[in-house]
Structure 1
Amino acid sequence: MDNLKNFSYKSYCIVILAFALTISCKEKKVEVITDVLPNVVLLLGDDHGWDETGYNGHPFLHTPVLDEMAANGVRMDRFYSASPVCSPTRGSIITGRHPNRYGTFTPGFSIRPEEISIAEIMKDAGYVTSHLGKWHLGPVKEASPTNPRHFGFDEYLSHDNFFEMNPHLSRNGADPVVFKGESSEILIAEAIDFIQRSKEKEEPFFIVIWYGSPHEPYSAKPEDLALYDSLPEDFGNRMVRLTSNETGSQVERLQRDVLRERFAEITAMDRSIGQLRSFLEEEGVRDNTLLWYFGDNGTPQEGNATVPFRGQKALVYEGGVRVPSVLEWPERIKTPFITAMHGVSSDVFPTLCEITGQPLPNRPIDGISLLPMLEGKMDSRREPIAFWNGRPRNNGEGLVDYIDPELQKGTTPLVKLANGIPTRNFKNFHHPDIQEQDFSGARALLGNQYKLVIHDGKNGDTRKELFDINLDPAEENNILSDQPEIAGDMEKTLKNWQQSVLESLIGNDYP
């Protein structure tokens, strides 16, 4: 990692204890001496893979704003989503905990009402809070016990799932309304309005903006599509499956045509971030605003054309969990730098707790604070990052619903049909005990040098792979036979962590 040197502070800066918060279920107090808390804006791309930025060397994509953020702030080259699919990663951001702890195994599974949200923490610190865009942790309707307001957001304009142009969005749980226009720009216009109102109250703002882009099915403005009219004939020259905007069902199309639309969505999203940055500058609040962008999982199959890693969305290999991440905070980060330290979406919660001086909840937290990394005091993790594509026992058969199914029904329409309906419903289950079968599912443990990957076989056997992730980021060479002791120790660590997760799943973290 390039060290952050000559880190300068103004007299009113936050003073933080000089140790990183680690995975713990003990409450930690953090001393803060501050008159001015930073504003915080979290931005999340939907299915935006690591390679799909100009600064990471994409041969065709135009992402000038993200490129500028990478050049002017902190570029996190080894940042990960907690899951290779979206809902679980979103849960990790909200809670700082692995999503299997509260049954958000995969899309379609809600969060649990007892979880403590980062928005609640920020409210305790004096922030006004807003959620904009994709929620996907339960229905956003007013009656839902897992809507954004339940989790501490003062206001929200949100969707149960993803959305395209002219999206249906619910304001604070009301019936959804169509908002005409490009969806990324709609969210930023709402963010700007919220910021203006928070300035009148003289309160710091915390805004979570979860884009619907670039998730399929794709739609974009003509001027954005025109940027990609001349993709080479040999690029994306294969057929892929995705949702039809006309029927909501699956269709086969030439990947090059699909990529033209996907790239246009990414460019529109990038432009919207630029609109927000320009507004913050004009209002004189950009210097003390922490602006953090990353993706929620790796590139999906229909968009996989330039991924330099093994795998894609839904897999625990690097192609499924390594995502772009850039962070700006001009007041505190005076010297731009690139870090190769491993970070993960679960780190957002403890990082913001430390920045705002709030204690961690008294329950297991899987992320760590990255503030020491931002200060140039940490360049590696003390604990590995664990990934786990878990699942409910017997796919939920025989388990009791955690939330009334009526309260789990979505209301916001989208193009892609699910079981013939144009919305999304959710589920979550009580898990009464821990059985050996509950440890199954693709899983991985990522240390500072090695990554262990385990897949369950159909006949009860398992496939195990060990990679030197620094020398072999593409995960091409399985070195498990060369390092059996390291692999064995990592497998024990992973199993012990899974035990902790399952203890949470059966409800031991809740009073």
Structure 2
Amino acid sequence: MPFKKVNIVSIFVILFCFVACKNNVESKTKTEEINTPTNSLINSKPNIVVLLCDDLGYGDLSSFGHPIIKTPNLDKLAETGIKLTNFYSTAPVCSPSRAGLLTGRSPNKAGIYDFIPGLKKSPDNRDLVHLQAHEKTIPAMLKSAGYATCLVGKWHCSSRFNSNEQPQPDDFGFDHWMATHNNASPSHKNPKNFIRNREKVGEIEGFSSQIIVFEAIDWLNAKKDDKPFFLEVTFHEPHEPIASPEDLVEKYLPQAKTREEAEYFANVENVDIAVGRLVEYFKENNMDNTLIVFSSDNGPETLMRYSRAKHSYGSPGALKGMKLWTNEAGFRVPGIINWLGKETFTGTANNVVSALDYFPTFAALAGAETPNNLDGESFTSLLQTGEFNREKPLIWAFYDAINERRVAMRKGKYKIMARIEANGETLGKIHNLYDGNEALVKNAELVDFVMFNLEQDINESEDLKEKEPEVFHTMKIAFQKEYKKLLDESHIWVRAE
């Protein structure tokens, strides 16, 4: 009998330990699930689509407040996805903005400081500027993770386009590409300057926004494998030289002040129609694991800033400045995220997000390795819960800015800006950093600081450095540190002898 009693007790002890151990494992697993923001999102690699407009202003979509332009397809993506009200491009002008998006790093580090002109020898070595072969890019990263990749639209990351003397889109991981160096020429209508996989295409009938979406769909239709895809659609619209379908122009004429303004309004809607066609294609073909991100490369062009800017009626909304400014309208642009077929956070997000963040976010979703030198941060938690608190500040040094304070930093709800002074004078406008001006720029000082609370003052109207001295002191120290780090890591162009 004593033997039987001990045996029964032992059995109860074993059962109790088994249940306790099982509960502990389940509890740990649940805790890990809660603490892993992308757990319910990463069960298969999503298709990833980047939609990028050219010179689209913060206030140019109806969902972002435009009183006239109709953009129902983009509005629907914002309504059923995430509308980003604090989204930033990586520069206030095209080429550096695109380089920053592709690399997840400040474009200054890649040596792309301003827009890249066509090839013409320049004393400041601007003709040498291009995205260099060693730069790690989103398409190359995703290709290594098993993705098929495609670019359609505008490239503008090299001074020698379609030349073996500089890397081209396929050198950065694009399997298929059809692109132009810069703008569609002679205009958005019937462009003649597209290159497809290093071969000239010749004149294409139609409007650029529709043409590149047709090309994207043709590529997807011809795709024989079951690989997930990365598709970058870089619209030329609404950058000059603008051309729009006449039926859309007629629609806006009664509400526009001039025909040129009606053509601009129609130009933006034509992009919206193209986006709608692409989204409908995804849905009809059951591509129900497709992450779409939409934004602009920079803010809106200023009407008649140059002779051909006669259609430039873009709206900065409530923001100060325009394209080429380091005030908000230069690089704060409409942002939209929509993950077709996935349940994510839905609604308006005031979180500070940047195009720099695409690289680490896409890498996390694709299960790819993330380089340790990125300036962006993964916003996968935003997709899951709507929460994303940026730790790294955003800094811009645009030496060709129209406004005088050409260096700016956003950290939390505050933004700080400063002039650059060398030898007691404001540093003149600079297109490029090269061995001839490196010492001048690196020895210059940040002066004449201003600080704004962007949560309370979106149009940067009240300088708070006197009202909030402690915050200003902290921001100034961080600003100077970040700018020095950026300068130290900026690429300097040197012409080979």
TM-score normalised by length of structure 2: 0.78
Residue of 163, 173, 180 corresponding to 1:159:
180
Q: Distance in 2 between matches of 1:334 and 1:464?
A: 40
Q: Which residue number in structure 2 is paired with residue 77 of structure 1?
A: 85
Residue of 369, 390, 393 corresponding to 1:359:
369
Q: CA distance change for structure 1 residues 260 and 278 in 2, over 3 Å: closer, same or farther?
A: same
- 2:248 maps to a residue whose letter is D
Residue of 85, 104, 109 corresponding to 1:101:
109
- 2:419 maps to a residue whose letter is H
> How far 1:230 moved relative to its partner?
0.9
Q: Which residue number in structure 1 is paired with residue 27 of structure 2?
A: none
Matched, 1:445 2:454: no
Matched, 1:231 2:222: no
> How far 1:374 moved relative to its partner?
1.0
TM-score normalised by length of structure 1: 0.76
Q: CA distance change for structure 1 residues 18 and 91 in 2, over 3 Å: closer, same or farther?
A: farther
Residue of 17, 30, 54 corresponding to 1:46:
54
- 1:445 maps to a residue whose letter is M
Q: CA distance change for structure 1 residues 479 and 33 in 2, over 3 Å: closer, same or farther?
A: closer
Listed as ranges, the matches of 1:301-316 within 5 Å are 301-302=302-303, 303-304=313-314, 307-316=317-326
> How far 1:18 moved relative to its partner?
4.7
Q: CA distance change for structure 1 residues 219 and 127 in 2, over 3 Å: closer, same or farther?
A: same
Please tell me whether the aligned partners of residues 140 and 158 of structure 1 are also in contact (alpha carbons under 8 angstroms). no
Matched, 1:195 2:197: no
Please tell me whether the aligned partners of residues 300 and 315 of structure 2 are also in contact (alpha carbons under 8 angstroms). no
Q: Which residue number in structure 2 is paired with residue 383 of structure 1?
A: 392
Matched, 1:145 2:110: no
Q: Indicate the SS of the match to 1:157.
A: strand
Q: Which residue number in structure 1 is paired with residue 137 of structure 2?
A: 117
Residue of 476, 479, 482 corresponding to 1:491:
476
Q: CA distance change for structure 1 residues 301 and 33 in 2, over 3 Å: closer, same or farther?
A: closer
> How far 1:500 moved relative to its partner?
2.6
Q: CA distance change for structure 1 residues 338 and 151 in 2, over 3 Å: closer, same or farther?
A: same
Q: Which residue number in structure 2 is paired with residue 477 of structure 1?
A: 462
Root mean square deviation, CA, Å: 2.5
Q: CA distance change for structure 1 residues 178 and 316 in 2, over 3 Å: closer, same or farther?
A: same
Q: Which residue number in structure 2 is paired with residue 63 of structure 1?
A: 71
Q: CA distance change for structure 1 residues 133 and 306 in 2, over 3 Å: closer, same or farther?
A: closer
Q: CA distance change for structure 1 residues 123 and 59 in 2, over 3 Å: closer, same or farther?
A: same
Q: Percent identity of the aligned residues?
A: 28
Q: Which residue number in structure 1 is paired with residue 243 of structure 2?
A: 219
> How far 1:67 moved relative to its partner?
0.7
Q: CA distance change for structure 1 residues 217 and 505 in 2, over 3 Å: closer, same or farther?
A: same
- 1:463 maps to a residue whose letter is D
> How far 1:467 moved relative to its partner?
0.5
Q: Distance in 2 between matches of 1:223 and 1:348?
A: 36
Q: CA distance change for structure 1 residues 295 and 274 in 2, over 3 Å: closer, same or farther?
A: same
Please tell me whether the aligned partners of residues 78 and 343 of structure 1 are also in contact (alpha carbons under 8 angstroms). yes
Please tell me whether the aligned partners of residues 54 and 94 of structure 2 are also in contact (alpha carbons under 8 angstroms). yes
Q: CA distance change for structure 1 residues 383 and 183 in 2, over 3 Å: closer, same or farther?
A: same
Q: CA distance change for structure 1 residues 175 and 306 in 2, over 3 Å: closer, same or farther?
A: closer
Q: CA distance change for structure 1 residues 306 and 90 in 2, over 3 Å: closer, same or farther?
A: closer
Q: Which residue number in structure 2 is paired with residue 296 of structure 1?
A: 297
Q: Distance in 2 between matches of 1:335 and 1:120?
A: 29
Q: Which residue number in structure 2 is paired with residue 272 of structure 1?
A: 274
Q: Distance in 2 between matches of 1:293 and 1:309?
A: 19
Q: Deviations over 1:40-93 (max 9, x none)?
A: 110100000110001112110011111111111111111011111111110111
Q: Distance in 1 between matches of 2:42 and 2:77?
A: 26
**Structure 2 unaligned spans of 5+:** 1-31, 117-128, 304-312, 427-446, 493-497
Q: Distance in 2 between matches of 1:144 and 1:116?
A: 19
Please tell me whether the aligned partners of residues 387 and 445 of structure 1 are also in contact (alpha carbons under 8 angstroms). yes
Please tell me whether the aligned partners of residues 100 and 390 of structure 1 are also in contact (alpha carbons under 8 angstroms). no
> How far 1:383 moved relative to its partner?
2.4
Q: CA distance change for structure 1 residues 493 and 220 in 2, over 3 Å: closer, same or farther?
A: same
Q: Which residue number in structure 2 is paired with residue 412 of structure 1?
A: none
> How far 1:215 moved relative to its partner?
0.2
Q: Distance in 1 between matches of 2:89 and 2:61?
A: 17
Q: Distance in 1 between matches of 2:137 and 2:486?
A: 18
Report the structure number with the largest CA radius of gyration: 2
Q: Distance in 2 between matches of 1:386 and 1:503?
A: 14
Q: Indicate the SS of the match to 1:149.
A: helix
Q: Distance in 1 between matches of 2:256 and 2:200?
A: 44
Q: CA distance change for structure 1 residues 276 and 469 in 2, over 3 Å: closer, same or farther?
A: same
Please tell me whether the aligned partners of residues 56 and 314 of structure 2 are also in contact (alpha carbons under 8 angstroms). no
Matched, 1:262 2:226: no
Matched, 1:130 2:132: no
Q: Distance in 1 between matches of 2:357 and 2:165?
A: 27
Q: Deviations over 1:308-358 (max 9, x none)?
A: 111110111111111011111133335521100011111111110111111
Q: Which residue number in structure 2 is paired with residue 171 of structure 1?
A: 196
Q: Distance in 2 between matches of 1:65 and 1:374?
A: 20
Q: Distance in 1 between matches of 2:332 and 2:103?
A: 20
Please tell me whether the aligned partners of residues 16 and 354 of structure 1 are also in contact (alpha carbons under 8 angstroms). no
Which is helix-richer, 1 or 2? 2
Q: CA distance change for structure 1 residues 146 and 490 in 2, over 3 Å: closer, same or farther?
A: farther
Q: Which residue number in structure 2 is paired with residue 326 of structure 1?
A: 336
Higher RCO (C-alpha 8 Å, min separation 6): 1
> How far 1:481 moved relative to its partner?
1.4
Please tell me whether the aligned partners of residues 134 and 160 of structure 1 are also in contact (alpha carbons under 8 angstroms). yes
> How far 1:174 moved relative to its partner?
1.8
Q: Distance in 1 between matches of 2:320 and 2:147?
A: 41
Q: Distance in 2 between matches of 1:40 and 1:81?
A: 18
Runs of 4+ in 1 over 4 A off after TM superposition: 15-20, 30-35
> How far 1:147 moved relative to its partner?
1.0
**Structure 1 unaligned spans of 5+:** 1-14, 21-29, 234-255, 392-439
Q: Deviations over 1:151-172 (max 9, x none)?
A: 1101110111021221220011
Please tell me whether the aligned partners of residues 140 and 170 of structure 1 are also in contact (alpha carbons under 8 angstroms). no
Q: CA distance change for structure 1 residues 18 and 145 in 2, over 3 Å: closer, same or farther?
A: farther
Q: Distance in 1 between matches of 2:104 and 2:232?
A: 15
Q: Indicate the SS of the match to 1:126.
A: coil
